[in-house]
């Protein structure tokens, strides 16, 4: 059975004090929820500056701590970069990779992301690997081609063993931070397409085992429809992860399905 996950990407929000309060609130509330950690997971991804402090106030039985990115080099003269070893030493056990904002604003491409992905896996860091199309690509009806290219150029270079260590997050980029959201049917269609690609490349068993999250303005108001779909295993949550009440509601909705 594949794991169902709600992951919160805080992006460049909160200072250390407000981030600690948010983490503490989520942590305390999760103690009152009954869930099997082998079947369900909760991930939070604060800014780099918060990782060590947050690691000290959360219980890793309930919450997995993630970075929002890692460098594509292990160490060296790369001013301002944060290595995989640095996030590990700060308490993180996961990282988001290939988020559309990293691709769009910072020019991350398949070559860069392959290096980052391999470094994460090598260091036993769970990669949450993001893929997805922009609005123009969907309007041209090439969104399936775009997603297939992103998957095949990076993820499909992995061995079966390494691929099984990856969580995928599908982001319809046109829905991120816009208040728009893919319909449950649109999201399910793409998630099913991705799962079929995995089956063709590896096997049906690997495809059914792979966790695929939806990322794109997911909130308590639309999560019921999204999480009820068979190939949507949870969400990579942006804005709603900054409000403990909303984030916890999403976790509760995920536990119902």
Residue ranges covered by each domain of the chain = 4-256
The whole-model pTM stands at 0.97
Express each pLDDT in 102-117 by its tens digit. 999 999 999 999 999 9
What is the third-level CATH fold of 4-256? Answer: TIM Barrel (3.20.20)
How high is the pLDDT of residue 83?
98
Task: Give the torsion through C-alpha atoms of 195, 198, 200, 204, to 10 deg.
Answer: -70
Express each pLDDT in 132-151 by its tens digit. 999 889 989 999 999 999 99
Count of other CB atoms within 10 angstroms of residue 58: 21
How high is the pLDDT of residue 180?
73
How high is the pLDDT of residue 35?
74
Running DSSP on this structure, what letter comes out for residue 32? T
| Residue among 248, 218, 249 nearest 233 (CA) | 218
Identify whether 191 is a catalytic site residue. Answer: no
- 64-93: average pLDDT: 98
Identify whether 137 is a catalytic site residue. Answer: no
Query: Which residue is catalytic, options 99, 108, 133, 137?
Result: 99
Query: Which residue is catalytic, options 50, 101, 171, 191?
Result: 171
């Amino acid at each position: 059975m594949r794991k169902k996950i709600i992951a919160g990407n805080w992006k460049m929000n909160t200072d250390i004090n407000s981030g600690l309060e948010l983490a503490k609130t989520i942590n305390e509330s999760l103690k009152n929820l009954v869930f099997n950690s082998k079947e369900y997971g909760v991930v939070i991804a604060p800014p780099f500056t918060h990782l060590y402090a947050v690691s000290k106030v959360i219980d890793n039985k309930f919450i997995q701590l993630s970075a929002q990115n890692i460098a594509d080099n292990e160490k060296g003269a790369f001013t301002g970069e944060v290595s995989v070893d640095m996030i590990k030493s700060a308490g993180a056990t996961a990282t988001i990779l290939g988020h559309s904002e990293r691709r769009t604003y910072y020019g991350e491409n398949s070559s860069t992301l392959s290096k980052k992905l391999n470094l994460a896996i090598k260091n036993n860091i769970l990669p949450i690997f993001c893929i997805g199309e922009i609005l123009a690509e969907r309007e041209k009806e090439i969104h399936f081609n775009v997603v297939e290219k992103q998957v095949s150029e990076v993820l499909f270079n992995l061995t079966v063993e390494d691929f099984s260590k990856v969580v995928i997050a599908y982001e319809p980029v046109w829905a991120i931070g816009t208040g728009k959201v893919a319909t449950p049917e649109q999201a399910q269609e793409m998630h099913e397409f991705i799962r079929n690609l995995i089956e063709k490349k590896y096997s049906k068993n690997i495809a059914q085992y792979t966790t695929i999250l939806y990322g794109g303005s997911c909130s308590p108001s639309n999560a019921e429809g999204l999480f009820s779909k068979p190939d949507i295993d949870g969400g990579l949550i942006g804005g709603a992860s900054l409000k403990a009440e909303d984030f916890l509601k999403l976790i509760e909705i995920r536990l119902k399905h």
